[in-house]
Structure formats: structure tokens, C-alpha cells
Structure 1
Amino acid sequence: MGRPVTLFTGQWADLPLETMCQKAKDFGYDGLELCCWGDHLEIDKADQAYCDQKKDLLKKYDLSLYTISTHLVSQCVCDPIDERHKNIAPDYIWGDGDPEGVRQRAAAEIIRTGQVAARLGLDTVVGFTGSPIWHMLYAFPPTPMELIDKGYEEFAKRWIPILDEYEKMGVKYALEVHPTEIAFDIESAKRTLDALGHHPAFGFNYDPSHLGYQHVDYVRFIYEFSDRIFHVHMKDVHWSDVPVTAGVFGAHLPFGDNRRYWNFRSVGRGKIDFESIIRALNDIQYSGPLSVEWEDSGMDREAGAAESCEFVRYSDFAPSNVAFDDAMQKE
């Protein structure tokens, strides 16, 4: 179909952006999805001159830019804050570590990120939201539904002011539906939209990998939220067909450990049915980028990224504009 194939740079932020541009071009990508960490995109420095320099750098390598991603800071907006967040938040967001201060500074940074997107000529920011109730997921000690209701109310209280600013800027926020977020499957995504009053600036970054290993119908997700899919990640995952020693919760084992029930895989090497995904995206007339988020602890990342680009480009196809049996009928 010719949808642009891009590479998310979040897993490559240990490399300077220019090095990443050269590699992405060599791998065969049309563009990048820039992460807001490393030197790839520094929000606190991103005035118009800085943004113009980034665009010029991508242009030097004949790469396009369609979106930017702020997964790390956005996680801090409505999470219960602990030492883990210190490891992902810039020092100026962490500050003295006071939880409410971290959340407020993170919210202000997400608004600034929308402004940076506008300076770059973009209309979409991808990221997380955090969740005040994820830690209650297993419902023990028993969780009164009132606590869940309050959690969605708190989420809305923190995010609606951000989204109002995005709407003024003409920028949309695409939540990557993902465990640890306020929306992590179809039903929680519905409730998230309801909590926000179906805010026009809020939608989803579709990533089938996070749904597949939960046994959520990841193709149905596309149809359920056809008007809210603002961006697409192409990422694969494998899960076991036989009982294992570490179940869906992972047993505190690191990614890549083969004792786990599931692990992310290079695109095309897991169990995600990308054929059905492309057909569904055609059905909803999604024409945006297909962005490879490459994660595979067991494979060389450069070989994997190059292979993934080729796989996604091959997998993508345009819908038919004729019925195949029309030619068999009399006029």
C-alpha cells in the first residue's frame, strides 16, 4: 500500500541520533519515530532552531518524521511514584522526588512535548499515561469498585487539562495500550475513553504485541477503535503453547529469559498475525506510518531491524478496488 515504514528510536537511544539516522537509512526505512530521551529529542532544549536542526538532520539522510514519543516522562503523570521512576525521568522532572511534584512536572513536560511536535510540523505524540490503579489489578486484598472508579477519576483529572492544550495546538495524544497503563486491553480502553468524555485529542497507538500475550483479540481492537487509532507500532511477541515455570506475570525474570511464558520477538518471528492486521487497517482506511518497535533480547538488533523493515514492507498491501468475481458476470 505504500504506507511509510519507520523505526522507533527508543531502543536505540544509546546511539547518537546521526548514527541512528545512518543506520535507519541503511536498513531501508522511510523515516524515524523519535524518542524524547538520549540526544534524539531533548524537550527542554527544543526551541524552533533546535527543531529545525533535527529536521535538517533527518532530511540529510532522506528520512521523514511522522511522530515523536514520550513514553518515559508520560509514565510519571499519574503513577504512584517510586525509585523506578527516578531511573527513567530527567533530573529536572524528578527534582527532589516528591511524588506530587514529579507528577506535576511530568504533566507540564507532556504539554511542552505537544508544543515541540507542533514546531516539528507533526500532529501526533505517542506515549504512556501511567495509572493510579494498575497495582490493584489482581484485586487482592479485595478491591472495592469505588477505588477503581476513583482511579479513573484521578486519571481524567490529570490528563484532561493536558489534552485540552493538545486540542488547542492541533496535536493528538496516542496512548500505547500496554500493561501498567490506564488502558491495557479492549475493555479498559473503552473505560478510558469514557473517563475522558471521548476527548477528541486522545486516541491510541496500536501495538498488537501487548495484547497478544494477554489473549486479547488484537484484530478486533482495530475495529473497536477505528476512529481512535492515531499511530501503529509493528511489534511481535511469542508465547508458549505448553505449561511453563514462569507464567504471564513473568516471575520477576528479565525479558529474554526462556523460562518466561512470553517474550517479544523480532517482527515476523513471533505469533502476531500481521496479515489480519494489515487487512483490518485497510478496512478502517488507516494511512499513517507502520513504525517498527524492535525488541528481541535474543537477536542482534541491527540484523533484526533490517529484517523487520523488509518484513513490514512485504506485509503491507493496498486493498482491492474491485471485487474479484466482477469479471465473471455479464454486464
Structure 2
Amino acid sequence: MARPVTLFTGQWADLPIETMCQKAKQFGYDGLELCTWGDHMEIAKADQAYCDNRKELLNKYDLQLFTISTHLDGQCVCDPIDRRHKSIASPHVWGDGDPEGVRQRAAEEMVKTAEVAKRLGVDTVAGFTGSPIWHLLYSFPPVSPEMIEEGYADFARRWKPILDEYQSLGVKFALEAHPTEIAFDIHTAHLALKALDYHPAFGFNYDPSHFGYQHVDYVRFIYEFADRIFHVHMKDVYWSDVPTGVGVFGGHMEFGDNRRYWNFRSLGRGKIQFENIVRALNDIGYNGPLSVEWEDSGMNREAGAAEACEFVKKIDFAPSDVAFDDAMQKE
């Protein structure tokens, strides 16, 4: 049996939750991955009655729930806080904007999110961690190894207590490895795991689009972290085959500008080889949802989301339970 196909609601948080359910059902999805902004999953309000109401609403539209996602407040746990974060943090997390206060409140919000996941009956929270050292990516002025080590130590100091709470609740945290996060490729993912002493509650929300334009081997990532792939985002990306005026760093241009070297695209319209991803997921025994994170600045999102659902259902397949040549074997 193929995996359920869900729709991540982060790019749809301008719509009320019931409207989102109606549209997802119309598009053909099996479920939703609810974001923790807009009114889709409000952590501050999410007592047991609220969570039961959300489950009833999803059941009304025959939609499943496997994961909730906390990318925005999660980003604030480790980042150097500036005015950009005010636009993404929950108002109570931002508070007076004092950087360390924001980080501490974001950490508390991460624990509350795990508690909400438990009330909802799901065992995975996807999101971002932030990074104290992303701004050191390009090593000039020179960046010493000690500065990088200090960054990973700070990440571990802030996230280990959070992850301990996740483990006690039976919930896992799945970092979406992504530029601006503590892990953004294969090497940094290994560094993050090592810094956390391979905490059992920490793994990855696998999204190939963030690796493709970096020229990171996105299929190899699946095999290297086979026991840490807790959730999967399906998202496509296009990058140019010829030199462009703007490189991989984006040239301070907004997403969607056609002068960029790369842009996210609706599934099947970029360069990610999803056939190889499905085969790798089968190899590692991943049976969770395939969650469409729809992003394409040049395409109508409703048409794109419907098309993406159809694409994923067509490309996904269950692994074989027999060797194809067994019937040729003689006793």
C-alpha cells in the first residue's frame, strides 16, 4: 500500500482551518500537516478540548493527521535575534524583543508544542531549530574551528532539555535540514547529531529541495540517516544549467525572481528526481506520510496543490514483497 499524501498548511495559513480542510479534500489529499501559525494549530489555546475539536474537524473531511509543524517559533530558539524575528515569532514568544528572552520563550513553546502533539495523538513535530552560526557560513573574516564548535555546543545546550521533554512524552522532533538551520547538508547533519549525543528524540524532516540547488546528494542523505528520517516533505526546485547573474546565495533577490540561479517549483516541474527518493524511502522502510510543501511563486497555488497531490500519488509505490525472479527458480 502506498503512503498517505498530506498537505503542509504553512503556506496556506491565511485561510481558516475549515476552509483549508475543504480545499485539501477537494485537491485529493489524505490528510494535513498542520502548521502552528494562523488558526490551524494555536499552541497557546490547544488544551484537550481544542485538540479534540481539531481531530473532529479533520474527521469530518476524512483527513488524517500525522504531524504538526513549528518552523517559525522553532527558528527563534538558537538564532541571533533581530527585527526579522518579530515578523515570524508568536506575539507571546516575541514579548519585549529582548534576544535572550525570545530564545527562552521559544524553547518553552517547543515543549508546549510537544505536549499538544501528545494531546492530538501524533508522535512527530517538524520544524526548525535556528542556528547561532549560520552567519559564519562564509569564512571571512576568518572563522576558526573553535567558533563553529562553540555554535554546536550552544545549539546542544538549548535543545537537549527540549528533546528530553519530547522523549518523556513519546514525541520526536524532526528538523527540516535547511539553509539558516544548524543542519543544512549531510556534513552539518552529522555534526548536529554528534552535538546532541545522538539524542533519540531528534531526527529529520527530509526535504530534497533544500539539498538539490546546493548540489548535495539528496538520495544519499536518506541512506546516511535512515533511522532518523521521521517525516518527509515533498517539494521541488529548479536550478539553472548555465551560469547566471545571481548565484546560489540569491543576490538579495526575492523568491520567484527569474534572474535567480534557483527557485522552488511545483512538484514535477523542477529537477528533483522523486523516483529515486521513493526507492530510497522504500529501502529504509519509511512508511510515514509524504507531505507536500507547495511553493511556486509563478503558479496558482490551488492548481499547483491539486497537481502536486496527483503527482505524488502517481510517483509513490509500495516496495515489492517478493524478488521478481523468484518464480524462475527451480527447487
TM-score between the two structures when normalised by the length of structure 2: 0.99
Q: After superposition, where does 1:195-274 map in structure 2 within 5 Å?
A: 195-274=195-274
Q: Write the letter of the residue equivalent to 1:5.
A: V
Separation in structure 2 between the aligned mates of residue 106 and residue 197 of structure 1, nearest angstrom: 22
Q: After superposition, where does 1:273-288 map in structure 2 within 5 Å?
A: 273-288=273-288
Q: After superposition, where does 1:301-312 map in structure 2 within 5 Å?
A: 301-312=301-312
Q: After superposition, where does 1:1-331 map in structure 2 within 5 Å?
A: 1-331=1-331
Separation in structure 2 between the aligned mates of residue 159 and residue 324 of structure 1, nearest angstrom: 46
Question: How far apart are 1:323 and its partner, in Å?
Answer: 1.8
Question: How far apart are 1:25 and its partner, in Å?
Answer: 0.1
Q: Write the letter of the residue equivalent to 2:197.
A: G
Question: How far apart are 1:2 and its partner, in Å?
Answer: 2.0
Separation in structure 2 between the aligned mates of residue 14 and residue 234 of structure 1, nearest angstrom: 21
Separation in structure 2 between the aligned mates of residue 289 and residue 226 of structure 1, nearest angstrom: 16
Q: Write the letter of the residue equivalent to 2:134.
A: W
- Secondary structure of the corresponding residue to residue 304 of structure 1: helix
Question: How far apart are 1:322 and its partner, in Å?
Answer: 1.9
- Secondary structure of the corresponding residue to residue 204 of structure 1: strand
Question: How far apart are 1:320 and its partner, in Å?
Answer: 1.4
Q: Per-residue CA shift, 1:236-255, capped at 9, x if unaligned?
A: 00000001011000001111
Separation in structure 2 between the aligned mates of residue 318 and residue 205 of structure 1, nearest angstrom: 20
TM-score between the two structures when normalised by the length of structure 1: 0.99
Q: Write the letter of the residue equivalent to 2:298.
A: G
Measured on the aligned residues, the alpha-carbon RMSD in Å equals: 0.6
Calculate percent identity across the aligned residue pairs. Answer: 77
- Secondary structure of the corresponding residue to residue 227 of structure 1: helix
Separation in structure 2 between the aligned mates of residue 123 and residue 172 of structure 1, nearest angstrom: 6
Q: Per-residue CA shift, 1:115-135, capped at 9, x if unaligned?
A: 000000010000000000000
Separation in structure 2 between the aligned mates of residue 91 and residue 24 of structure 1, nearest angstrom: 28
Q: Per-residue CA shift, 1:122-170, capped at 9, x if unaligned?
A: 1000000000000000011000111100000000000000000000000
Q: Write the letter of the residue equivalent to 1:248.
A: V
Question: How far apart are 1:223 and its partner, in Å?
Answer: 0.3
Question: How far apart are 1:292 and its partner, in Å?
Answer: 0.1
Separation in structure 2 between the aligned mates of residue 71 and residue 329 of structure 1, nearest angstrom: 52
- Secondary structure of the corresponding residue to residue 286 of structure 2: coil
Q: Write the letter of the residue equivalent to 2:255.
A: F
Separation in structure 2 between the aligned mates of residue 321 and residue 70 of structure 1, nearest angstrom: 36
Structure 2 unmatched runs, 5+: none
Separation in structure 2 between the aligned mates of residue 154 and residue 296 of structure 1, nearest angstrom: 35
Separation in structure 2 between the aligned mates of residue 175 and residue 324 of structure 1, nearest angstrom: 37
Separation in structure 2 between the aligned mates of residue 14 and residue 233 of structure 1, nearest angstrom: 21
Question: How far apart are 1:330 and its partner, in Å?
Answer: 2.1
Separation in structure 2 between the aligned mates of residue 23 and residue 130 of structure 1, nearest angstrom: 31
Q: Per-residue CA shift, 1:202-239, capped at 9, x if unaligned?
A: 00000000001000000000000000000000000000
Q: Per-residue CA shift, 1:259-314, capped at 9, x if unaligned?
A: 00000000111000000000000000000000000000000000000000000001
Question: How far apart are 1:328 and its partner, in Å?
Answer: 2.5
Q: Write the letter of the residue equivalent to 1:316.
A: D
Q: Write the letter of the residue equivalent to 2:178.
A: H
Separation in structure 2 between the aligned mates of residue 327 and residue 51 of structure 1, nearest angstrom: 51
Question: How far apart are 1:321 and its partner, in Å?
Answer: 1.8
How many residue pairs get matched? 331
Q: Write the letter of the residue equivalent to 1:48.
A: Q
Q: Write the letter of the residue equivalent to 1:99.
A: P
- Secondary structure of the corresponding residue to residue 251 of structure 1: coil
Runs of 4+ in 1 over 6 A off after TM superposition: none
Q: Per-residue CA shift, 1:4-46, capped at 9, x if unaligned?
A: 1000000000000000000000000000000000000110000
Q: Write the letter of the residue equivalent to 1:261.
A: Y
* 294-303 or 320-329, larger mean C-alpha shift: 320-329
Q: Write the letter of the residue equivalent to 2:262.
A: W
- Secondary structure of the corresponding residue to residue 14 of structure 2: coil
Structure 1 unmatched runs, 5+: none
